[in-house]
Amino acid sequence: MTQHILIIGSGWLGLPLAKSLNQQGHHVTATTTSIDKVIAGDVNVIHLDTQDPKSISTLNMHFDAMIITIPPKRSLGHDYLAELTQLHQLAISLAIPHVLFTSSTSVWGNNKNIIIESSPMQPTTESAKAMVAFEQLIHDAPEYLATTIKLSGLIGCDRHPGKFLAGKTGVANPGASVNLVVKEDVIGIISAVIQQGIWQQSLIACAPSHPSRHKFYTAAATHLGLTAPTFISETLINKTIDATYTSQLLKYQYQHPDLLQWMANQE
């Protein structure tokens, strides 16, 4: 069924997501905080300052769903929760019936266990605490139905993991599991939620393969012809993200389940 979808954020994830949903037949509007990015193209991109209530109040359109893809900014004094809360109010004011929020697996902090969708969250950073608070807010909201997808580390052909640790020394936790997901699979999982109407759920996007940090990042750097990182010998923290429930609920098969194989296929 064709839907009118509002995507908050047209960055590394938001814009290709908008293009994909548009190609699937949906009517998509994406927002950007930079006027320079408002260009004519396949996707309708509009200017919206998500930190300015006056800018938000100018948006007056009908949408079936809002997808929030904005990550926390690194600028000093940025109030991520306040920015997200403005979007909660926007959903209410526009009577948007469904909200999807892309959170992060960082909400589980330095947990040493196998993490599943129902694992208790233990945020340690301010941004992770904001994500936890916002997830609680939108899932309790009586005005709409919400789903949160916690994203593990994001990679893609334009965000190659070989650059993450190349040349670094004394890198910790060599035996720890790698928890990453390729951008195309994030788009696929979000699309499945929209298409199937899977609401009031807390889900995870993470590839099912978990090579060790030493094996993966050594191979990743070598693949790009960069200096491989060197690791300390001891593994203190090993958090493994298990997204099996999400895959089964959505009947979703990962396009890139094997991270080492995905990397080997990159040119």
Looking from the CA of 7 toward its CB, the CA atoms found within 13 Å total: 30
Specify if 125 maps to a domain.
Answer: yes
pLDDT in tens, 87-134: 999 999 999 999 999 999 999 998 888 999 999 999 999 999 999 999
Specify if 220 maps to a domain.
Answer: no
Q: How confident is the model at residue 235 (pLDDT cuts 50, 70, 90)?
A: confident
Specify if 227 maps to a domain.
Answer: no
The CATH number of whichever domain residue 198 belongs to comes to 3.40.50.720
Q: Which pLDDT belongs to residue 39?
A: 62
Structural domain boundaries, residue 251: 4-157+180-207+240-256
Predicted confidence (pLDDT) at residue 219 exceeds the cutoff of 80: yes
Predicted confidence (pLDDT) at residue 60 exceeds the cutoff of 90: no
Return the minimum-mean-pLDDT range out of 5-19, 45-59, 221-235: 45-59
State the total domains in the chain.
Answer: 1
Specify if 261 maps to a domain.
Answer: no
Q: Which pLDDT belongs to residue 236?
A: 79
Specify if 173 maps to a domain.
Answer: no
Specify if 115 maps to a domain.
Answer: yes
Q: What is the CA radius of gyration of the chain?
A: 19
pLDDT in tens, 177-203: 999 999 999 999 999 999 999 999 999
Q: How confident is the model at residue 77 (pLDDT cuts 50, 70, 90)?
A: low
Specify if 165 maps to a domain.
Answer: no
Specify if 224 maps to a domain.
Answer: no
- Of 59-68, 73-82, 166-175, 185-194, which one has max mean pLDDT? 185-194
Structure tokens at 5: 């979808």
